[in-house]
Chains A and B, each alone.
Chain A
Amino acid sequence: MGNGKQDIAEKINQELEDIRFHGADKVISRTFPKSGRERLASLWNKEIEIRATVIGYVSASVFVLVIGIYLWKDPVMKPAPSVSLQAGTELLEVGGSIYWKDQYERMVARLEDSDQD
């Protein structure tokens, strides 16, 4: 009796003796394609290796680009319209309160008009 490990390997080989590799022709046709069809199949089944880091960088770049385009087309931080309309006007302090000068004048004018009526 040989050592235990060898005996086990032998035993497994005995159990698997019907397991025989018959794919040599397929390997040859894929490795050394002769006909056009085999070449096409070989090209179609060609494996390409891409590093995970490359995939990560590309995905991150695409994500940033898409988000950038989306924000550029439809910006979330739109300026408040009231601020832009009121830009350039003056502030007034009346009775301890602060008003926009043009709004204040409009309100005063309206009140004066209503008094005349």
Chain B
Amino acid sequence: MMEQYGDYLLRTTVLLLRDRQAAEEAVQDTFIQAFENISQLRDADKLRSWLTRIAVNRCRMRQRTWDWRHIFPNPRMDLHVDEVAPAAEEAMIHHWREGEMTKSIQQLPYTYREVITLYYFNELGVLEIADQLQLNVNTVKARLMRGRNKLRQMIMEMGESDG
């Protein structure tokens, strides 16, 4: 299990926590928790999703210790958002320069970083993310949209600074 999912979980936690040491500890805690509670896993096919959920909760716990503000969403974000993945924005992210996607995701505020990571890196759907994070679907959509907008803004700023 650790061989199969260790790198995947560590990459997820590195994206979320930005700190290699903290990410490594979060993954260790994830596996320990998984071993201790393995009986709670009903469907073996959902192992990856279950481990991801534990890892994300671990990251949240670590985040909470230093900043509550980044955990709680802005209430104004829960507006209706119909569009999930505008093609233009995906294309923009797709044209990201080599080596800078990770850095840019890590620069996002935690609430956006979380959904962007789960959506693009862990390849979860909006419903799955809502379930994993215990959030409303519209909240997830709104955070995704804002996260993408912020990423787009970063690309533009980087383009401007490069002349």
Chain A residues at the B interface, C-beta cutoff of 8 Å: 4-9, 11-13, 15-16, 19-24, 26-27, 30-31, 47
Residues of the A chain whose Cβ atoms lie less than 8 Å from the Cβ of B24: 21-23
Residues of the A chain whose Cβ atoms lie less than 8 Å from the Cβ of B10: 19-21
Binds A, one of B63-71, B115-123, B131-139, B152-160: B115-123
Chain B residues at the A interface, C-beta cutoff of 8 Å: 2-3, 6-7, 9-11, 14-15, 20, 24-25, 27-28, 31-33, 35-36, 85, 87, 90-91, 93-94, 96, 98-99, 101-102, 105, 119-123
The DSSP consensus for interface residues of chain A is helix
How close is B86's CB to chain A, nearest CB, in angstroms? Answer: 10
Q: Taking A5-B120, A21-B24 as contacts, is the C-beta distance between A27 and B32 under 8 angstroms?
A: yes
**Is B93's CB under 8 angstroms from A8's CB?**
yes
**Is B3's CB under 8 angstroms from A24's CB?**
yes
Residues of the B chain whose Cβ atoms lie less than 8 Å from the Cβ of A19: 7, 10-11, 14, 20
Residues of the A chain whose Cβ atoms lie less than 8 Å from the Cβ of B105: 12
Known: A4-B85, A12-B15. 5 other contacts (CB 8 A): A5-B85, A8-B120, A9-B122, A13-B121, A19-B20
Q: Taking A12-B101, A12-B102 as contacts, is the C-beta distance between A21 and B6 under 8 angstroms?
A: yes
How close is A12's CB to chain B, nearest CB, in angstroms? Answer: 5
Residues of the A chain whose Cβ atoms lie less than 8 Å from the Cβ of B119: 5
**Is A4's CB under 8 angstroms from B2's CB?**
no
Residues of the A chain whose Cβ atoms lie less than 8 Å from the Cβ of B11: 12-13, 16, 19
**Is B28's CB under 8 angstroms from A4's CB?**
no
How close is B100's CB to chain A, nearest CB, in angstroms? Answer: 8
Give the residue name and chain of the A residue nearest to B99 (CB).
A15
**Is B101's CB under 8 angstroms from A11's CB?**
yes
A42 CA / B56 CA spacing, docked (Å): 23
